């Protein structure tokens, strides 16, 4: 099984496309004004954006993108005007995370976990 895509609501599809292209995704479907799909440069996962007229406050949904050199990526994005709610920091679950919001206020976490992403010390052994 593979996780194919995640779909996020977007108030402004074009602004969201610029945001996600800026963090490194490639646009593969452009069906403006209602839909767009982007893919990660490594792997086979895609992110869809679906036009909506409103978005619920604080949905609790967070989308994660892993970067091998997280701090350098955050600096690059800040130089291009991206504002972070949380700068990179080491978390107790052994990930280094930075958080920001896309143009529709969806929470985006940029992180580095390395082997701990799939194999944390507390991984369940089946």
pLDDT at 109 over 80: yes
The arithmetic mean of pLDDT across residues 64-83, rounded, is 97
Q: CB of 24 within 8 A of CB of 41?
A: yes
The residue with greater pLDDT, 62 or 2, is 62
Q: What pLDDT band is residue 120 in, cutting at 50, 70 and 90? A: very high
Phi, psi of 66 (to 5 degrees): -95, 135
The domains of the chain, with CATH numbers, are 5-117 (3.10.180.10)
Joined tokens for residue 2: 């593979």
pLDDT at 70 over 90: yes
Q: CB of 19 within 8 A of CB of 107?
A: no
Q: What pLDDT band is residue 44 in, cutting at 50, 70 and 90? A: confident
Joined tokens for residue 100: 């920001």
Of the candidate ranges 53-57, 77-81, 110-114, the one whose mean pLDDT is the lowest:
53-57
Residue whose entry in the numeric block shows the structure tokens 């600096």: 75
Grouping H, G, I as helix, E, B as strand and the rest as coil, residue 32 is coil
């Amino acid at each position: 099984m593979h996780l194919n895509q995640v779909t996020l609501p977007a108030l402004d599809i074009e602004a969201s496309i610029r945001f996600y292209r800026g963090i490194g995704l490639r646009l593969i479907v452009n069906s403006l004004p209602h839909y767009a799909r982007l893919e990660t440069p490594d792997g086979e996962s895609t992110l869809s954006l679906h036009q909506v007229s409103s978005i619920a406050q604080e949905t609790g949904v967070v989308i994660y993108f892993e970067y091998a050199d997280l701090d350098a990526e955050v600096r690059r994005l800040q130089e291009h005007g991206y504002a972070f709610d949380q700068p990179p920091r080491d978390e107790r679950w052994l990930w280094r995370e930075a958080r920001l919001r896309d143009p529709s206020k969806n929470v985006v976490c940029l992180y580095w976990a390395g082997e701990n992403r799939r194999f944390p010390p507390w991984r369940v052994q089946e």
